[in-house]
Amino acid sequence: MAAGFAMTPTTNGEGATVRLTIPARAEYITLCRLALTGIARVRDLPDEVLADLKLALTEAASNSVRHAYTGDDESGVVEISYELRPDRLVIEVSDEGEGFDPDDAGGAPEELSEGGLGIAIIRAIADEVEIGTQPGGKGSRLRFEKELGSG
């Protein structure tokens, strides 16, 4: 993928979804955070909740950027889906890279090494977390939800 990104908003009776596709490069993670900031303006999230969600999103996207694609593969992408429902925000970060074993993701804090806290941070911030592979078994998918109360 050439340097750039795509963003596609959709709406339904349950809420609105924004999909963002970025190159799997660290400098594009800021776009993920900016999209989240825009979504927060629709719902008027408290600053503390927004800061926590930005941290969780940064950790999830960074995992895909760092671990999904090997070597000089500059064609890899990371897809981020933001689903704003009446009572919650659901964020899913996925890639089509090497994937990982979800059972090894985010063990006990005393077992985590430096640079291995991302999934533990996401689990601490989010109300629900799902980690696995993409349908078909390729790549990884990290989905987390934050309850926002009725809006």
* pLDDT above 70 (res 106): no
Per-position DSSP letters for 17-45, written without gaps between them: EEEEEEESSGGGHHHHHHHHHHHHHHHT-
Q: In what order do the strands lie in the sheet with 77-84?
A: 6-12, 15-23, 77-84, 88-95, 140-147, 128-133
Query: pLDDT category, 114, cuts 50, 70, 90?
Result: very low
pTM, entire model = 0.82
Residue 37 CA to residue 50 CA, distance in Å, equals 7
Q: Is 150 exposed, middle or buried, given 0-12, 13-18 or 19+ CB atoms closer than 10 A?
A: exposed
Give the residue extent of every domain in the chain: 6-147
Looking at the DSSP assignment, which residues form a beta bridge with residue 9?
18
Q: Is the pLDDT at 75 greater than 90, yes or no?
A: no
pLDDT digits (tens, 9 = 90+) for 19-66: 999 999 999 999 999 999 998 888 888 999 999 999 999 999 998 888
Is there a contact between 118 and 29 (Cβ–Cβ < 8 Å)?
no
CATH number of 6-147: 3.30.565.10
